Amino acid sequence: MPELCDLLNIQLSELFRGERMTMEAHQKAFDALLLEMKQREEAANRRILHLEKVLVCMTIAVSLTMILVGCYLAKDHLALGIALLTFSAAVVFAVCFVGVKIEHDTGYYECPECGKRYVPTMKAVVMALHRGTARKMTCPFCGKCAYHQKVLAR
């Protein structure tokens, strides 16, 4: 296709559209595509964060049930009770790491001081104090430490 475009002296987007486009029309089409990509990214990030919340709620329900059953069984069957308690603690621990990984991979964090958006390192996300989706981190641009809010799109 690029060879055909060179022969016809047109752009690839013009070949797909079937009509000649001015530079202004190219810019409008490009802007519309960028806006659509941003909206898709934001929707995908929102969906992933929603699934994270569902995962955490399900884990809490299952783990609490296993802990209660483990405590009840520990009276009569000590080994089974300890096994259930240990397994439920391991499940909670594993889901915590999965949740932090999801928090790190989806979206960006915005510095309240300079307003820049960035993706922090995994170590910074794990070690940061947090409340909700805001984490106390140092901005890589301005160097100030503050609660950086989670945002879904750049």
Taking residues 107-125, what's their average pLDDT?
A: 95
Looking at residue 104, its pLDDT comes to 92
Sign of CA dihedral 128, 134, 136, 137: positive
Q: How high is the pLDDT of residue 100?
A: 93
pLDDT value of residue 22: 77
* pLDDT of 98: 94
Taking residues 44-59, what's their average pLDDT?
94
Q: Residue 150 pLDDT > 80, yes or no?
A: yes
Q: Report CA torsion sign: 143, 146, 152, 154.
A: negative
Statement: residue 42 has pLDDT above 90: yes
pLDDT band at 28 (very low <50, low <70, confident <90, very high): confident
pLDDT value at residue 102: 93
Q: Give me the helices (H) in 1-154, please.
A: 2-8, 12-17, 23-76, 78-105, 122-127
Hey, what are 106's tokens?
């989806």
pLDDT of residue 80: 92
Percent of the chain with pLDDT over 90: 69
Question: For residues 20 and 49, which has the higher predicted lDDT (pLDDT)?
Answer: 49
